Each structure stands twice: as structure tokens, then as C-alpha cells.
Amino acid sequence: MHKHHSSHRTINGKNFVILPIIFCVLILGICTAVVYPSTYGLIAVSNLFFSGTGETKSSKYENIFVPVAEEEDVYDPDKPQTPRTVPISSIQYPVYGDLFGELIIEDCQIQDNMFFGDGDVQLNNGVGVYSGSFIPGYGRTILVAGHNNTYFNGLKYAKAGQKVKLRTSYGNYTYEITDVQVKLSTDKTAYDLLAEKENLIMYTCYPFDELGLTPYRCFVYAKFVSGPVIDKNS
């Protein structure tokens, strides 16, 4: 009888320790399940909000951009010139994800890395040329995306007549802004990827300081002014 009574007290003692631990674990699990989704959302929004610092978010890309001297392909409105030709065989055509140039709009305080592709890595580190469009000098549509509250926030200052510079390893290009329009993101008339003349279209979410995706996009249209022409038959 004495031994049995002692064993009963030992079991009660273990229960006194184990049951509170199990209870705490269950409560912690329930709290995590309830609180984590909202916490994760806050973290994501915070990262998006603070992504305007311009700091590199990832190094998972190839940099093939070697700037060409500014003296080459300089736009001079008083001296119209025939664009020089660049054999396509002489350039390193970017593949998806490559950093291959720089986009500059001085009037909008924009100077961004330019990538080929518009995935998360590219748009977290600069602006991205949609891979279904074309590169500068190819003679077709160049469709460039950027986040509204970071790299393309300056597009809110865009006006007709302002110059846009695209710098690449094979030449420097100048475009002139012709129009700025706000359209629904589903509006397929906002761009023409089949156009047979060189044109630049930059776009971002609208309003400019809104966090997250919005149903509207601000499109900035620009015409080709100067820069080398890629000879696709060479």
C-alpha cells in the first residue's frame, strides 16, 4: 500500500509539469495560426514601402552592361545625323534577367538599372523591359515596367517634350515623351507590341504612392529621336 501511494503521487507530480507544457504549446500553436497571416502581410507591405531606398535586394542576375562613351550617339537637335548601324552579331543580346543598360529621365529624377525581363528580382533592383517586346535599336516597341513607389515613382513628373535616355553596351539612345495617360491595367489598347517603328512605353501602377497592385496604370509614351540602328541581317 505504501509503494502504491508513492507511485500515485509521482504520477500526479508529472502531470503537474507536463499538462501545463502541453497547454502552452496548444495555445502557442493557435496564436501562431491566427496571428501569422496578418503579421506576414504587414511584413510584406513594410518591405514594399521601404523598397524605395534603391538598395540592391538581390544579386541573382548577370550584369552585361558596359557603358559606351557619352560622346557617341549624342543627340544634337541642331545637327541632324544619320544613325550609325550596329551589326546584331556584334552585340550581346540580353537573356531574361540580365542587367543590360540604364534608363535616365533627368526631369523626373530617374536614373535606374535597366533589365531584360520584369520579374521580382528585376523590379526589385530597377526597371524591366518586358521580354515580349524589344531592346533599343531594334526598331520596334520597348515596353518598360517599374514599381510606382520606388524606381518609377518619378514618372509622376513626366511631361511631353522631356527626354529619356537609354544607355546600353552597344550605344546610347534618346527618346522624347509625347504623351502621358492613365488606363485600366486590362486595357490592351495601351500598347502595341506589333508596331513596326521604334517607340518607348514606360508604365507603372497608379496612383503613384499607392501600396500594392492597383487597377490602374500610368503609361508614358515616347518617340525615337536618336541612337544606333541594329542591323538584323548582319
Looking at the structure, do residues 33 and 135 belong to the same domain, yes or no?
A: no
pLDDT tens by residue, 1-43: 444 444 444 445 555 555 555 555 555 554 444 333 333 333 3
Name residues whose C-beta falls within 8 Å of residue 218's C-beta, 6 or more positions apart in sequence. 148, 155, 156, 180, 181, 182, 203, 204, 205, 206, 208
State the Cα–Cα distance between residues 191 and 205, nearest whole angstrom: 15
Residues 44 and 153 in one domain: no
Same domain as 218, residue 117: yes
Tally of structural domains, the chain: 2
DSSP 18: H
Cell triple for residue 60? 541573382
Residue 83 has a pLDDT of 84
Instruction: Please report, in angstroms and rounded to a whole number, the separation of the first and last CA atoms in the chain.
Output: 102
Length of the chain: 234
Considering the domain architecture, whether residues 109 and 189 belong to the same structural domain is answered as yes
Q: Is residue 161 part of a domain?
A: yes
Residues 104 and 8 reside in one and the same domain: no
Q: Distance of CA 163 to CAs 138, 154, 159, 166, 181, Å?
A: 19, 14, 9, 10, 17
Q: Are residues 40 and 107 in the same domain?
A: no
The verdict on 110 and 22 lying in the same domain is: no
Residue showing cell 509503494:
3
Same domain, 27 and 101: no
- Same domain for 208 and 150? yes
pLDDT tens digits for range 104-150: 999 999 999 999 999 999 999 999 999 999 999 999 999 999 999 99
- The verdict on residue 61 lying in a domain is no
79 is a domain residue: no
Check whether 194 has a pLDDT greater than 60.
Answer: yes
Structural domain includes residue 71 = no
**73 belongs to a structural domain:** no
Q: What is the extent of the structural domain holding 11?
A: 2-49
> Cβ(177)–Cβ(221) under 8 Å?
yes
Asked whether residue 63 is domain-assigned, the answer is no
CATH of residue 89's domain is 2.40.260.10
Please tell me whether residues 99 and 150 are part of one structural domain.
yes
The reported pLDDT for the residue numbered 103 is: 98
Same domain, 104 and 44: no
What digits encode the pLDDT tens for the residues 43-95?
333 333 333 333 444 558 999 999 998 766 766 777 767 788 999 999 999 99
Q: Which amino acid is at 222?
A: A
Are 40 and 95 found together in one domain? no
Contact 158, 201 (CB under 8 A): no
Whether 64 maps to a domain, the answer reads no
